[in-house]
Amino acid sequence: MNMNETIKIAAPMSAPHNIREDVPHTPTQPVFRITNLKRYFDVSPPLLNRLLERKGKQVVKAVDGVNFNIYRGETFSLVGESGCGKSTIAKLVVGLNGTTDGSIEFEGQDIARHSRQDMDAVRHRMQMIFQDPYASLNPRWRVGDIIAEPIRVFGLLDGKEEIANRVKELLQGVGLNVQDSEKYPHEFSGGQRQRISIARALASNPEFIVCDEPTSALDVSVQAQILNLMKDLQRKFALTYLFISHDLSVVYHISDRVGVMYLGRLVEVGDKHELFRRPQHPYTRMLLDSIPDLEMTGRARTPVAGEVPSPLNPPSGCAFHPRCPHATERCEREVPQPIHNVEHGFVACHAVEEGRLIATS
């Protein structure tokens, strides 16, 4: 292997049908500052079993020392293979799970240390859109009651008429009819249910929304409609998104910046245009090589090979080294530290640090 090998990445694939590509976003002020975020899960068998089998505790490090910022008005996306910790971070950010260590600063306040009462004061400013719209909607409630629930819980409006008018505005804002408020979730298609989920998320007038695989359960044409709706709402209400997805085409067309995760750690963060055209980390390159080459450029491609190691027994050093064609002995024994070589981004790779791997367009 040539130690000075140069990576060449083709231009990103063409846009999915009907998805608009917006002008680049310029980060200004961070809304969230995630520092050394960790979340460990104890998955040990019962104590008696461990004593009989003479085994110690088993801990899954779902999120292991993650650092990144989310800037006001931007869409920051997390990508990676299943089990890398993307959805866990989403739940940590909105307070659905507690942290093991680290801080989550929301506009200067460390909400990771907030009590439940303290969280109530900021919870209405953060909402979440879930992957399965049907599972996240109460099947026994009418749509009007589902959307009105955040308004009532947070005491944003008084009086049935005011709440009903607000529900009508939200339904129209996401492209549904006013009459739909009297229907139940099972009477809608998947795309319409996701629109209801978006309307419910907007009901509390949030500033920040976590989108956990919001289009993965939808077909391509409906995905385009939902993504365009989300971009329109972002511009209209000055929203900030944390977008979770494994679909790189969706990520490319909705994101401003992208973070690539592997086994609970971020391996690369950068502007979407730079990251897709000039990926630095070998794992990022392999993810992009898994996208079909519709332009048939003939460029040599290296699909993602091997299996993701068990999070119960992750590899030493760089977790990606068993699958990396550029790994050395240093990669096996030493965890790479982030190299802040781009604005608002970094890469954690020994090969990049040592100059053995150079990304060029």
Angstrom distance (rounded) from CA 247 to CA 361: 22
Residue 157 inside a domain? The answer is no
Question: For 175-198, what is each residue's pLDDT tens digit?
Answer: 999 999 999 999 999 899 999 999
CATH code, domain with 333: 3.40.50.300
Specify the DSSP element, H or E, that contains 222: helix 220-237
Predicted confidence at residue 61, as pLDDT, reads 93
Domain residue limits at 114: 6-125+206-360
**Contact yes or no for 293/113 (Cβ under 8 A):** no
Asked if residue 305 is part of any domain, the answer here is yes
In a domain, 191, yes or no: no
- Count of structural domains, the chain: 1
- pLDDT at 2 (0 to 100): 41
Residue 327 in this model has a pLDDT that exceeds 70: yes
**Which tokens belong to 339?**
């190299």
Q: How confident is the model at residue 16 (pLDDT cuts 50, 70, 90)?
A: very low
pLDDT one-digit tens code per residue, 223-269: 888 999 999 999 999 999 999 998 888 999 899 999 999 999 999 99
pLDDT at 82: 86
Placement of tokens 């367009």 in the chain: 361
Please give the Cα distance from 26 to 284 (Å, whole number).
Answer: 23
pLDDT tens, residue by residue, 262-311: 999 999 999 999 999 999 999 999 888 877 665 545 566 666 667 788 88
Q: What is the DSSP string of 260-309?
A: EEETTEEEEEEEHHHHHHS--SHHHHHHHHTS--TT----------S-PP
Q: What are phi and psi of 102, to 5 degrees?
A: 95, 180
In a domain, 186, yes or no: no
In degrees, to the nearest 5, what angle opens at C-alpha 39 toward C-alphas 34 and 44? 175
Instruction: Evaluate whether residue 172 is within a structural domain.
Output: no
User: Taking all residues of the chain, what is their mean pLDDT, rounded to a whole number?
Assistant: 86
Are 282 and 348 a contacting pair, CB within 8 Å?
A: no
The two most distant CA atoms of the chain are separated, in Å, by 71
- Asked if residue 179 is part of any domain, the answer here is no
Question: Both tokens of residue 331?
Answer: 């990669």
Residue 104 pLDDT more than 90? yes
Tens of pLDDT, residue by residue over 157-177, are 988 999 999 999 999 999 999
| Residue 12 within any structural domain of the chain | yes
Residue 34 φ/ψ, nearest 5 degrees: -95, 120
Nearest-angstrom CA–CA distance, 86 and 102:
16
Nearest CA among 322, 324, 312 for reference residue 281: 324
Q: Give domain status of residue 116, yes or no.
A: yes
* Predicted model pTM: 0.87
